[in-house]
Homo-oligomer: A and B are copies of this chain.
Amino acid sequence: MNHTRPYSASLDRLRPAGLRPTRQRLALARLLFETGDRHVTAEQLHGEARDAGIRVSVATVYNTLHQFTEAGLLREVVVDPGRAYFDTNTSEHHHFYTEETGALEDIPGDRVVLALMPNTPLGTVIDRVDVILRLKTDS
């Protein structure tokens, strides 16, 4: 079914962002958004594309991840110095991160409540609040 518009969901994401629906962007969008919420690195996504028979360069994977992030389709999660994770869940939520394994897992926004927000330095305003619960395997 829906044989004539196999990419329509992805198309509808790209159009409002002013991004031309190229073969590469459509394919990456499907990998990213058609399997529920996920966290990926550029290297992982490039590997998945290759495995799926999609030819796309690393440069394009990086370009696309950044463009999607600017368009609000993705969000970047900073947990490891030296490696960027991209998150398909753009709703307010936080993260568990296990350094040993690299596992990154969501914490729903309503499971963490922050109180007593401090005043921000002069001339600045809060852009985002990141809460990372760093885990270790128990001994």
A residues lining the B interface (CB < 8 Å): 76, 78-84, 96, 98, 103, 105, 107-108, 110-118, 120-121, 123-138
Q: Tell me, in angstroms, the Cα distance from A47 to B123 when the chains sit together.
A: 29
Closest Cβ–Cβ distance, residue A77 to chain B (whole Å):
9
Give the residues in chain B near A132, CB-CB below 8 Å.
78, 129-132
Give the residues in chain B near A137, CB-CB below 8 Å.
123-125
Q: Is the CB of B116 within 8 A of A112?
A: yes
Q: Is the CB of A136 within 8 A of B125?
A: yes
Q: Is the CB of A131 within 8 A of B131?
A: yes
Q: Is the CB of B112 within 8 A of A112?
A: no
Q: Tell me, in angstroms, the Cα distance from A111 to B129 when the chains sit together.
A: 14
Give the residues in chain B near A129, CB-CB below 8 Å.
131-134
Q: Tell me, in angstroms, the Cα distance from A116 to B64 when the chains sit together.
A: 36
Give the residues in chain B near A117, CB-CB below 8 Å.
111-112, 133
